[in-house]
Structure 1
Amino acid sequence: MHPPFSPSARLTALGTQLIEIHDWLREELVRLRASLDSPGGLTRELRAHCVGFCAALHRHHTGEDAGAFQVLAEQVPELRPVLATLSEDHRVVASILTRVEELVSGPVAGPAVRAELDGLAALLESHFTYEERTLVAALDAVSAGTAEELLGLNVPDGNSAVEERN
């Protein structure tokens, strides 16, 4: 895990931490999609990675909705329409994650999972880019909370797999 930040360092880095979390989620999704092409199809390990990724992404989005978005709505009211749009995206992503989890828990062929993950990847890239463009500066000015409290996850260290975080 990362070394603890001083309160002032954390405050100036929250926007950067959001980007780092998004980058990590992007990388995990690339790994997950690439592993679908490996021989053996949906192995137990691949299913566990998929469920772990879905859980981490869900934690991030519910953390944002209950944490960062609430704080930003209070401290920067002009962002409320943006936050509402992003929260709606979170609900759409949650429905895709539910479908993915249902598919990997049953006797499914890889193409159905691939289709859901490809759609998820396209949606997330658009969502993450918009969120980063509209919220990073405001997040850097937030005066309360940790990355885990406000963003749902700590900044991933890049050395451990999704399953290890759950």
Structure 2
Amino acid sequence: MHPSHPPSGRLTALGTQLIEIHHWLREELARLRASLDSADGGTVGLTRELRAHCVGFCAALDRHHTGEDGGAFHVLAEQAPELRPVLAELTADHRVVADLLRRIDALLAEAPDGRSVRAELDGLAALLESHFSYEERKLVAALNRLAGEPVELLGLTPPENGDTFERTETA
């Protein structure tokens, strides 16, 4: 398989794209958490826009982890069997993150104030920072040796100039 070009037209290794995706997800989560805080340090209720941003972020994160589990991790397990224990740990983390995302989704459906959602997002941020850092340390070099479509292997493609991530729709 030949390397593909992301939407920006530049050739970028998958490991580097993983870092770009993680960077974007970190920024989006930080922006989402900050948007829940009012200027006076209190916490505001969830507006329709904040709910939509939260749902969108959670969906993007879920697509990314689903893409890794069904794409990049499968390929890495075949090509680098020594990484299988690491991949198993990361997949277990993905299940914990998915549980958190379901809790956040349930909170959003209950129309809470921003405090309860913010608390869950704070926990998610702590977990993701540890998860992303570990994944990057353990997998970037191996991913950079792979070729493939980012959206197939990583669930998302890196944004161009701060744009949102694109994904392909499955029929």
- Higher share in helix: 1
- Kindly indicate whether the alpha-carbon contact (under 8 Å) linking 1:96 and 1:120 is maintained by their aligned counterparts in 2: yes
- Kindly indicate whether the alpha-carbon contact (under 8 Å) linking 2:100 and 2:120 is maintained by their aligned counterparts in 1: yes
Task: Give secondary structure in 1 for the equivalent of 2:146.
Answer: coil
Per the alignment, residue 58 of structure 2 pairs with 54
| TM-score, with structure 1 as normaliser | 0.89
Output the CA distance in 2 between the equivalents of 1:124 and 1:157.
23
Output the CA distance in 1 between the equivalents of 2:113 and 2:80.
46
Q: Select which of 94, 97, 102 maps to 1:93.
A: 97
After TM superposition, the structure 1 = structure 2 runs for residues 39-118 of structure 1, keeping only pairs within 5 Å, are 40-118=44-122
Tell which has more relative contact order, 1 or 2 (C-alpha 8 A, sep 6+): 1
Task: Give secondary structure in 1 for the equivalent of 2:163.
Answer: coil
After TM superposition, the structure 1 = structure 2 runs for residues 129-140 of structure 1, keeping only pairs within 5 Å, are 129-140=133-144
Task: Give secondary structure in 1 for the equivalent of 2:57.
Answer: helix
- Kindly indicate whether the alpha-carbon contact (under 8 Å) linking 1:47 and 1:105 is maintained by their aligned counterparts in 2: no
Q: 1:132, CA displacement in angstroms?
A: 0.2
Output the CA distance in 2 between the equivalents of 1:49 and 1:38.
16
Gapped runs of 5+ residues in structure 2?
1-5
Per the alignment, residue 17 of structure 1 pairs with 17
Per the alignment, residue 153 of structure 1 pairs with 156
The letter of the residue matching 1:68 is A
Q: 1:161, CA displacement in angstroms?
A: 5.1
Q: 1:158, CA displacement in angstroms?
A: 4.5
- Kindly indicate whether the alpha-carbon contact (under 8 Å) linking 2:8 and 2:160 is maintained by their aligned counterparts in 1: no
| TM-score, with structure 2 as normaliser | 0.87
Tell me the C-alpha RMSD between the 2 structures.
2.0
Change in CA separation of 1:38 and 1:2 when aligned onto 2, cut-off 3 Å: farther
Q: How many residues align?
A: 159
Per the alignment, residue 30 of structure 1 pairs with 30
Q: Select which of 124, 127, 133 maps to 1:123.
A: 127
Output the CA distance in 1 between the equivalents of 2:9 and 2:89.
32
